[in-house]
Amino acid sequence: MALDELKNALAGRKVLIVDDDPETMLFVVRTLQDHGMATRLVTSQREGFDLLNDEKTRSGIGLVIVDLQFIGQELPADLLTARQALGRNATANNTGQALGYWLWRKKMVPGNSRHWPRYVYASISPSFWKEAEVHTEQELKDKTGKRSTEEIRATFVLGKLVRDGEEFCEALETAWTAWSPLETATETAKP
């Protein structure tokens, strides 16, 4: 059964879902709860950002699933900075990318990776990948040894266009497992 490794690794921690699309939220929450996983759902990046900035709350979160598209939401200053760091790769509708990139920058500081949750994107827009996160992808390529952007996308982005919950779970478990070498590389890097 998919998600066994993830469920065991999360023991006592929740999956934080940051999404504003009711259909996606329902699908993800039901799928994870059907597999015995605790979830917490927020519908704004600001709320997700605030939860993750609180150390006590963050310690109870083992994984963040971030939607890529949030329409008309105001971003906190740190997320605006993260979004600006993405430059031309941050488009008007994919503001969820800012939260993921902010988490990436927090997590990839040597000595920090185990104190911040792993994250994946849930995308409802396959065309998003025409404007991918070049900075993050190059860093991922360097740390994971993956050769192509397509390998990175296939690993860390869960498309909404999956046939069923089991397919989603398999993709999620692949993404979860792929974080291990990244965290190890970060923990052994010199500050």
Least Cα distance to 112 among 163, 49, 185, 8 occurs for: 185
**Edge-first strand listing for the sheet containing 39-42:** 39-42, 14-18, 61-67, 118-123, 157-159
CATH number, position 124: 3.40.50.2300
Range of the domain at 11: 4-188
pLDDT at 133: 44
Q: How is residue 75 annotated by DSSP?
A: P
pLDDT at 120: 85
* Three-state SS at 182: helix
Q: Residue 134's CB: how many other CB atoms inside 10 A?
A: 13
pLDDT at 15: 95
| pTM of the shown model | 0.78
pLDDT at 109: 84
pLDDT at 147: 57
pLDDT at 163: 54
* Three-state SS at 72: coil
Per-residue tens of pLDDT for the chain, all 191 residues:
467 888 888 889 999 999 887 777 888 888 888 888 999 999 988 899 999 999 999 999 999 998 877 767 777 888 878 777 766 554 444 567 778 888 888 888 888 888 899 888 776 443 333 444 444 555 555 555 555 656 655 666 665 445 566 777 877 888 888 888 888 887 777 66
Q: Rounded to an integer, what distance in angstroms lies between the CA atom of residue 94 and that of residue 90? A: 7
Q: Rounded to an integer, what distance in angstroms lies between the CA atom of residue 75 and that of residue 58? A: 19
Size of the chain in residues: 191
Query: How many structural domains does the chain have?
Result: 1
pLDDT at 64: 93
pLDDT at 139: 59
The residue type found at 149 is: T
Q: Which residue has the tokens 């010199």?
A: 190
pLDDT at 134: 45
